[in-house]
Structure formats: structure tokens, C-alpha cells
Chains A and B, each alone.
Chain A
């Protein structure tokens, strides 16, 4: 049996379940908008959910300084974890928003534009690397 391009488009674009759920759409919209904001805050104010010490394979809850003689501390895992926990929580709250939420044109722009707006803040947070 052969499938045409039209069949494949139709199959790929008319999924039941999550793809037709207004609640999931609002959840994903709020999660997508909150993620870069939370990430920049975590990066600039150093708010990891945990700190990983690769030299000793140790994990500390929240922020912890590198210990003398034990190698560096890694915060990126912790920042990502903070955002992967907090943004879905905000998304769940957002899933309760009314249908009219997505009618706002600004929401449909911010959902991707916030990622672009966040870039200068991330570049700024890495200033020591650019100026050495």
C-alpha cells in the first residue's frame, strides 16, 4: 500500500489527544515563555537546583562552591533542572487560562521572541570569557 504526500500531511497534522488539547496548548505556551526568563534568572543569580562536582562525583542540593582539591563545580545541570521543574509548574497553572489567552497576538510572538531577547543577557553573563 502506498501513501501519498497528502495522506502523510493529513496524518501528521490531525493527531488526536495532546495535539488537539487546548489545555496542553496553554501549558506548552506558558512553559515555553517562562523557560528562557527563568533560565536567565537562574544563570545571572546563580540558582541551580543542585550542584554537581565531577571530580568527586558528588551532588549538593542548590548552589555549592567548588571545594579545594576536589576540582570544579558544575551549575549548568542545576540551572536546567530548576527550569525543567519550575516552567512546567507555571505551565500547569497556565493550562487553566481561558481559550482567549492564545488569541493575543503578543503571546504568539513572545513564545519564540523571548528566546531571542534572552541571548544578550546570556552573552553578558559570560563577559569574563569575552574580556580575558
Chain B
């Protein structure tokens, strides 16, 4: 296996884990931000079905996926620093690199928030935590979307095949 193939496989696995995480968090965020109280006559539509998931069931999966995605990303980052970032800087894409740095900060932030996020969801029957659970979930989701989009853009600047 060539060196390029090796790192490409890890980049693809990182991306796939990120897609799963993004999907799970987005389902959960919509469920907590716009909970389905009553299904309209004629049956639920796509958006209603999307919101009508069992939020607590996603909590452990989100934590595991965040950690897996983080570890895969941290592994790839060693090669990124030399083979991707230096050419990006030489090409003058400073803002792209700035957003990438911010993405890395957010990825670390998620690790700090995961334990209490998990606790809040595992106690979803307790209304005392409703506001905090909603806040923690929406912050994690916003960070996840930002990380995903920036990662996608950076990959377009200098990713597969470059």
C-alpha cells in the first residue's frame, strides 16, 4: 500500500465518521429545539419525521462518534501540518488556514462538553435540565457543522489527489 493510499483511507474514515456524527447530532438538535408535539392530519412529513427521533438514544452514539472522529482527525493532522498546511500558506490562503485552526479548537471543545451532554440526555426525563440540555446540544451541533464545512472546504483546497 502506498503512503498516499494509507493516509487517504484514514481521511475517508474521518469523513465518514464525521457524516454519521453530523447526522446524529442534527437529528437530536432538531428534536430538542423543535420537539414534535402533535402530528398534523394527513401524517407526518419529512421534516416532522426528522425531528421526531428519540433524542436520548443518540447521546452515547454521539459521544463515541465525536471521540472516534477526533482521534482519526488528530492522527491525520500530523501529515496535514507538513504536506497540506505549508502549501496552503505558500499559496496565500491564510483565511482558509485560520478557519482550519478554529475548527481544531472546536473539535477539542467538544471533548470538554461531552460528559455533561451525555448526563443531561441520560436524564432527559428530568425537566430541571431541559434548558441546559438544549444549550449543550445546540452548541455541539453548531460546532460540528462548522468543523464539517471547514474540513470540506480545506479538502477542496488541497485534499484528495493533491
Contact residues of A with B, CB < 8 Å?
5, 8-9, 12-15, 18-20, 24-25, 27-29, 31-32, 34-36, 39, 43, 52, 54-55, 71-72, 74, 76-77, 79-80, 83-84, 87, 91, 102, 108-109, 111-113, 115-116, 118, 122-123, 126, 128-130, 132
Contacts and interface: CB of A to CB of B under 8 A. Distances in A.
B77 A12 contact: no
A74 B56 CA distance: 37
Given A29-B116, A112-B132, 16 more contacts: A8-B54, A9-B124, A12-B56, A12-B122, A13-B124, A25-B116, A27-B115, A31-B112, A72-B86, A83-B112, A87-B112, A109-B131, A112-B113, A112-B136, A130-B95, A130-B98
A55 B136 CA distance: 38
Contact of A76 (B77, B92, B118): B77
A115 B102 contact: no
B54 A126 contact: no
Contacts of A83: 108, 111-112
A122 B111 CA distance: 17
Given A19-B122, A25-B119, A12 B109 contact: no
Chain A contact residues: helix, strand, loop or mixed: helix
Interface of B: 54, 56-57, 59, 74, 77-79, 81-82, 85-86, 92, 94-95, 97-98, 101-102, 104-105, 108-109, 111-113, 115-119, 121-125, 128-129, 131-132, 135-136, 138-139, 143
Contacts of B117: 32
Contacts of A43: 105
B116 A74 contact: no
29 contacts: A9-B57, A13-B121, A13-B124, A24-B115, A28-B115, A28-B119, A32-B117, A32-B136, A43-B105, A54-B79, A72-B82, A76-B77, A76-B104, A80-B108, A83-B112, A87-B112, A108-B129, A109-B131, A109-B132, A111-B132, A111-B136, A112-B139, A115-B109, A115-B143, A116-B139, A122-B105, A126-B101, A130-B94, A132-B92
